[in-house]
Every structure is written in structure tokens, then in C-alpha cells.
Amino acid sequence: MRISDLSRLTGTPVGTIKYYLREGLLPPGQSLGATLTLYGDEHVQRLRLIRALTARGGLSIAATRDVLTAIDQPLEPLDTLRVVHYALPTPVDAAETGAVDEQAPRVDALLRAMGWDISDASPHRNALAASLMDLNRLGMEYSTEELLPYAELAAAAARLDLDRLEHIKDRLRLAEHAAIVVLLLEPVLAVLRRLAQEDESRRRTAWAPGTDGRHTEELH
Amino acid sequence: MRISDLSRLTGTPVGTIKYYLREGLLPPGQSLGATLTLYGDEHVQRLRLIRALTARGGLSIAATRDVLTAIDQPLEPLDTLRVVHYALPTPVDAAETGAVDEQAPRVDALLRAMGWDISDASPHRNALAASLMDLNRLGMEYSTEELLPYAELAAAAARLDLDRLEHIKDRLRLAEHAAIVVLLLEPVLAVLRRLAQEDESRRRTAWAPGTDGRHTEELH
């Protein structure tokens, strides 16, 4: 297909596609002379992934390139998820080293309690420490015991994630889908939790002061 | 305390504090003459919340003002979480109405299957539709049956969240903590899932092609 078809199919302006080509995010098409270059289905899929990572995932062009580079390497299966994980931006930026050091023992305690085998180089150790520090500063400390049930839910979610990925036999597709499952399922799970919070708060009419359980009926 | 103490205690530059005061995010201090204004512990806590919402939650000043306005209204308990929910930015921006309409029946089916009572005005309906559309476009469709186990995990997380909130008796503190639990626990849960994914992928040495279960031992 021509670049105009690629633009139409993916809803991406031609100028943006040319930018991605220049930046090396998209592989070049098949040149059939000075004025005609053809693109294939692999360009459609790759372009959609780039759009999802940048527009939805909020990744910079540089971070997107890191993820795509990781995806394009044929790797051992265990390494695939690790490389994708480490190329993706962490959900929280662990900018303050002091905060991270202070919370590191709590992170270690949680990982031990869960029996999780996590690389020392994982960026998620520091990311967890930083987000726990934020909660602390706001007077919302979560103890290891309070975090454990959330960690159990995370483990159950990870099993569902891996159930989905282990059916993918092609290694490049596996890496691509790993990036999607890690990054683009995060907002899905966050939205599901908010929906569940709304429902749960309706069920608990007595969860806050001054409630006698009647106002829920009045609202309906 | 003086503004310099407030700055030191919260790690916020004086200029930034003055900006928040001008923008009405922080209530004015107690003026003791032309050159001395005193601030209290409530300013420390409020300033930390503003920093958490803006720096960690990524909220704009306008969105932060919406959340703080919502927090400062004394509301019925059921309404508190709703107002906080609706003032916070959704985890995914539902910009494309077409995508939302296309996915709305799937969202409805999921809410019905879960028995969740969700307001028609909830922004999270559209947010879920938009994020499902993203997955579809990338060839990663999740059926209602595949989403249900994730929704069950979200419901369990919401019960933990509400367990925490229902112990807070003061209404303004309740609203403040609701904002924190909704927004700042999201990155914690996202990081926990990524950690669990790493551990789970180690446990499943056979989850991808070309693996005979031996490379894990070799890596250790």
C-alpha cells in the first residue's frame, strides 16, 4: 500500500509517518522508484503500536524507540519480558534517591514475604519505594501487612497476564504483546478498580460518619 | 510557621508556594502585619497533597483545583468518593467518541456480569471503552469472559481500599484520603503487578517457544 493508505488505515497523518520513518521507529517501505514506496501489513501493526505507546502510554519518542529495539531482538523467553519491562517507563519516577533508600527495606520485606524472585537491577524496586514514600509523606503509611493483600491481587493479575502471553509462539509477536499487556492493560485495571470502588462505596452505606443507610435509597 | 519554614518542611520553593496561594490552591495564612504571615500544620498537609497530585499524579493546576474544591465540600459519604472520582483525571483519556460508542455494549456487558451499580454519568465507562478499543486495534481483543477475572481482582482491591477509608471519621480527611487512595495507590498497584510479572515469568520457563526449562537454572 502507499503511504496515503497507511495514513488512512491507522488514522496517522502522513507527516507523522514520515517523522517516524526518519526517526527509525518504522522500518523503511519497499522503494519502487523515486516517487513510489510501498508499505505492508507489518507497517500497519507497527504504526498502531507506536501510536498506542506514544498517545496512550505517554511514552516519549526516545522511550518508544527503546521499546521497539527491545521488541526487535530475538531473545530467550525469560529475557523478553525483562527487556520489555526495563525499556518501558516505570509507573512512578523514582527521582529522589533518599526516599528510595529509606523505603528499600520495606520493599525487600514485601518481596521476601511474597517469595518473589526479582532482579536487583529491576527499576520496579525503586519505583515501589518512591510511591510508598509519597504515601508516607501524606500520612497514609501502608505497612507490609497492609500491602500483602494488594501484592496477592497483583500476583493473580500477573498469572492472568502470563496465561495470555504463553499462547503466543512467535517471539517478536510475544515481545510486542508483552509490551501491550504490561503497558496498555494498566489503565484498564486502574479503571476497573475505580468502577469497583464506586460500586463498593454504594454497598457500604455505613462506611463513613453521619450515615444511617437511608440516603442510598433516597438517591435512587 | 513562616513561609520559609513551610518551604523547608515540604521541600517546596517559596515561589511555588506563593504561586499556589495566588491560584487559590492553598488557603491564605494568618497575616500579622505587612511583612509577617503565619502558616499552620494544615498548610503543610495541604501543600504535600498538592505536590503529590501535581508531581506524582501528573495533574494540571486546574485539575488539582477541581480535586481540592471537591475535597473542601462537606458531602454525603456516598457522594464524597463520587465527587473525588469525577474530579480526578481518568487513567485513560476517552477522546474518540466513535471508539467509545463501539465499545459501550462490551462495557455494559461487563458491568452487568459483575453486578456493578455504576452511574450513567461516570467518566470511567468511557475510559474503559477507550482503553478496550486501544487493545482491539492492536489485535489484543479481550472478551468479557477474559476481562471478568481482572474485574474480580479489581473488586477485591476496591474492598481493601474501602476497608482503609471507612475508618476515617472526619469528612474532609475522608475526601482527602479518598483522593490519595484512588490516585496514588494506582502506581503502587501497577508496580506490584510488574514485579509479579517478573516473578511469574521466572516460574514459567515453558511459557514461550524454544524453552526446555533449563535456561532458568543456567541464569542463576
Count Cα atoms within 13 angstroms, Cβ side, for B105: 2
Dihedral-angle region of residue A210 (phi above 0 means left; psi in -120 to 50 means alpha; beta otherwise): left
SS3 content of chain A, % helix, strand, coil (to 5): 70, 0, 30
- Length of chain B measured in residues: 220
The pTM score is 0.82
Between chains, do A187 and B48 touch, taking CB under 8 Å as contact?
A: no
Between chains, do A131 and B187 touch, taking CB under 8 Å as contact?
A: yes
Confidence (pLDDT) at B106: 92
Between chains, do A208 and B134 touch, taking CB under 8 Å as contact?
A: no
% of residues, chain B, pLDDT over 90: 41
Confidence (pLDDT) at B107: 95
CB of A118 less than 8 A from some CB of B:
yes
CB of A112 less than 8 A from some CB of B:
no
The CA distance from A113 to the nearest CA of chain B, in Å, is 13
How does pLDDT run across A111-162, given as a tens digit for each residue?
A: 999 999 999 989 999 999 988 988 888 878 899 999 999 999 999 999 999 9
The CA distance from A150 to the nearest CA of chain B, in Å, is 7
Alpha helices in chain B (DSSP H): 3-10, 14-22, 41-51, 61-72, 77-87, 97-114, 123-137, 144-165, 171-203, 215-219
B73 pLDDT tier (thresholds 50, 70, 90): confident
Residue with cell 517501505: A29
Q: Which amino acid is at B87?
A: A
CB of B141 less than 8 A from some CB of A:
no
Share the mean pLDDT of chain A. Answer: 84
ipTM for this prediction? 0.82
Q: Which of A122, A128, A138 sits opposite B180 (nearest CB)?
A: A138
Tally C-beta pairs within 8 A across A and B. Answer: 307
How does pLDDT run across B78-104, given as a tens digit for each residue?
A: 677 787 888 888 877 666 656 678 889
Q: Which of A117, A159, A200 sits opposite B162 (nearest CB)?
A: A200
The CA distance from A55 to the nearest CA of chain B, in Å, is 10
Q: Which of B160, B188, B216 sits opposite A131 (nearest CB)?
A: B188
Confidence (pLDDT) at A198: 92
Among A2-6, A11-15, A64-68, the minimum mean pLDDT is found in A64-68
Q: Collect all residues with Cβ–Cβ distance below 8 Å to B128 and sequence separation of at least 6.
A: A188, A191, A192, A195, B103, B107, B110
CB of A113 less than 8 A from some CB of B:
no
B215 pLDDT tier (thresholds 50, 70, 90): very low
Question: Does the pLDDT of residue A216 top 70, yes or no?
Answer: no
Q: Which three cell numbers stand for residue B4?
A: 520559609
How does pLDDT run across B165-191, given as a tens digit for each residue?
A: 887 877 777 778 888 888 889 999 999
Better-scored residue on pLDDT, B21 or A84: B21
Among A34-38, A107-111, B4-8, the minimum mean pLDDT is found in A34-38
CB of A164 less than 8 A from some CB of B:
yes
Confidence (pLDDT) at B220: 41
List, as ranges, residues 45-104 from A with C-beta within 8 Å of B: 45, 48-49, 52, 56, 76-78, 80-82, 85, 90-92
Q: Which three cell numbers stand for residue A200?
A: 463498593
Query: What number is the average pLDDT over the span B61-87?
Result: 79
Share the mean pLDDT of chain B. Answer: 84
Q: Which three cell numbers stand for residue B72?
A: 473542601
